[in-house]
Structure formats: C-alpha cells, structure tokens
Structure 1
Amino acid sequence: MAGHSKWANIQHRKGRQDAKRGKVFTKLIKEVTVAAKMGGGDLSANPRLRLAVDKAKAESMPKDNIENAIKRGTGQLEGVVYEECRYEGYGIAGAAVMVDCLTDNKVRTVADVRHAFSKYGGNMGTDGSVAFQFKHCGTLLFAPGTSEDALMDAALEAGAEDVVTNEDGSIEVITGPWEFTAVKEALETAGFKAEFGEVTMKALNETVLTGDDGIRMQKLLDALDALDDVQEVYTSAAIED
C-alpha cells in the first residue's frame, strides 16, 4: 500500500492542467518536432514520436498541425531548432524538482529557471542532484473500487511492470515508458479505462506538504511551468489541500 492521497493529488493536478490549455498545443508541437528529429518520422519505428502524437490527438490537435510538426522535425519544412535540457533543484522542505525544457536559447532558459527557483523559495541544484530520486515510467491510475485482482491479472498479461494499490483505494499500473500506449490499449480492450495516465518521471518517495508549505510549493511549480521553454515539471512533493 502506498500514496495515501494519490487520488486527491491527481484530481488537483488535472484541475490545474485543465486551466492552462493555452500552452498545451505549443508544448505538444515542440515535443512532436523534437521526437521526429531524434528518431525519424515513422511512428511505428519511433516510440517517442508515437507517444507525442497520441498525446496531441488526445488534446484534439488538428491533423495538419501534427503532420507539419513531424515534417519540421525531419527537415521537410523549415522551423526553429530546439535543444533538450534538464534542470534539477529543491523546493520547499527539500522536495525534489526536475524541469525538462525544449529551447532555442539555453542561456535564456537556464536564467529563467534559476530565477523562478530563487524567487519562490527553491534552490537550483547541479546535474544529477535529484534525478536519482525519480524513475522514468508510464503510470495509469484507476479509481477506487476497481477490482484489484482482475486489474492486476490484465495488467501483468499486458506487459505492465507493477501494480500498486494506494491507501485511498485507487490503483496504479506502472509500465515501461515506451510500453505505456500498448498497455493502456490492452487494458481498455479488457474493460479497464484509466482515469489518468501519463509517461512521467515518477518520484520514488514523496514529500508531503500541507498548509503554507503546500501553497509556497505550488507557486514554485506554477512559476516553472509557466516558462515558455518548460515542457514538464516533476516533483517529489505531494501537496495536500
């Protein structure tokens, strides 16, 4: 058993994400472009691109936008050249934070990220300072009341790495990062539809924050996420309402 407030935390995150739809297309287009540049434009041979396209489709991105982003990545169309970079640091009460960026100007990006950490009570660390506290994986969260035994059988048969039942009754299915889509589709075929799913850097241990600490931590996370070059913000903080 783990994650006593997992269900509430995920609902909180989803609500905040839904309020930031304006940046979603920009982030997705960048990810599709870079994925195509790194591994080619063939979805069947490029799992990162397939995942990026699946995410774009889930957000109802027009087909032309997706195809043009792939063409920019493979050099068929001209476009901005983005570089990947990751910054690490600490938030309130030492909670670990990792910030993944796609940028055309690393000098600008690192300055913006460092400023956000400093302004909102965090500290930017060195490369590798917190990365060991996270695991790159896919995670699918199922509502309390889902049959644990049936879901576990279906998940393991589909190729999942682990199934974790949280204290609040929700169930997490953990997959390899590139097996996420296949496991998700297999579970849906078996009649199990996740309430939330993503490929993420999952914290191996959580730092629970409440009250003012939680509010301060959320401000830091929001400030980082609002930066134009930031794609994803990962943290070990579990913020309680």
Structure 2
Amino acid sequence: MESYSLKKPANQAEQLNGFWLVTLMLNDEIPFAACLGTFFHFDAAPQIPLTLFQYGQDNTSNSYQFLTQQALPQAVIEHSLELYSDADDVMPHLEPPASPVLILGDGLYMANAFALAKHRSLQTANTVTNVILASETAFPFMVKPARYLMNEMPAEAIGASTLLEDWHIQNRLASQQGLPGCFEGSIDEMFTEWLQAKHYQMQASGEIENWQVVVFSENSVQKKCLQASQSFDWVELVGIFNLKT
C-alpha cells in the first residue's frame, strides 16, 4: 500500500446525480502512471473509493481531483493527513504514442477515462483520442448534444460530455436507463458496435488504422471487451484494469 501526505486539508464539492469531486494538494507528486487503474482512499473512510479525475490543477503538479459516489464525512475532509492507494502496478505506456486510442470508462471508473484523455491532450500533439463513457445510473455532468460527428458510433448516441469536447476529445455515452442522447446498452455492447463500424469503414476505404484500447471497468466487463476485440487484428487492448475496492 502506498501513502501520500496532504499539504493542506482536502475539500469536496457535490456534482450531479450523487457524484462528488474531492480536491486535494499533496506534498509530493504521484507518478501519473500510478494514478490509473487503482482506487485511493483515506484511512478514516476506506469504504469510500476515490478515482483520479484530473491532476495538475491550480497550476501545480501536486494538485489532484478525485471522483467518488459518496460524500466523505466532514471530519475526514478536515483531519485526514494521508491518502492511500492499493495499486499493484502502473499504467503501461501507450506505444507508439501517435497511435489512435479509444478509452472506455464504466461507472465510477469513468474518472480515469477523463484523466487519461486530458493527459494525452496535453502530452501528445496531433493524435486521436476517443472516449466512451457508461453509467448504470446517470452521469456526473449534463448530457449535451455532441459537437463532433462520429460515424462509427451508434446513430442514437448523439450526446456527449462537454468537458471532454472542450479538450477536443470526441466522446459518446452509453446507458441502460434510457437516458436521452445515450446508446441504450452496456459499454461492452457499444464497444462491439464501434468495432464492427470501424472495421466496415476500413474495408470500404482500404486503409487500416491500428487502434489501442484502454478499459477502465470491472473485471467482467473487461473480459467481454477483450472477447469482442479478438476478431479484429487492428485493435489491441492495453492496460486494462480490475480496480479494487
């Protein structure tokens, strides 16, 4: 178990649909690769998992934002001095960096999709990063009509995360709750449709694109995504994680 000391007390802000955003500043920087594919927690509230949403806020590399689906007790916010992580490994580098990447983020794990998408937008110029987010309930943001066309996505998936689009990240949403603008189904089902549509596009154009896919989800969903991808030799699943509670 890794631990990181807080420079000052954390604070939290309620988001839409029962999500909370926890912002904190640490004395030392956490390597970005060690922030993904794991849950963080405070010692006094180990039952409330935190997933990295953004880093480098307030113009400092030691500032972090984490997403959670439960408010932390105020005493934990005011008095916690250490942040803990149960990370067993680190996120592998996406190679080659210029390859197009699709990031899948399911439920609370979607926070890591935001973090990796933002990281790629800052670190790697002129590359393609697409995102699919899914939620069993709702999203921590308002679903808005997408600004960008994505012909490889299901026709009913016309909603998107505005924040990702502000970062020039094309994205689409999946939900099994009949949310307007979302694909009606699970994230692995939407991924399967994306694979088939992409394959058809490449056959029609005669141009092959080699995609890397990162999956942040429960293990059972990861297995479904892996099985769906095995029929396509132009896609590689990289750095899939079973985030542990």
Q: Normalising TM by the smaller chain, what interval?
A: under 0.3
Q: Does 1 or 2 have the higher relative contact order (CA < 8 Å, sep 6+)?
A: 1
Instruction: Judging by fraction of residues, say which structure has more strand.
Output: 2
In the superposition, the TM-score normalised over structure 2's length comes to: 0.28
Q: TM-score, normalised by structure 1?
A: 0.28
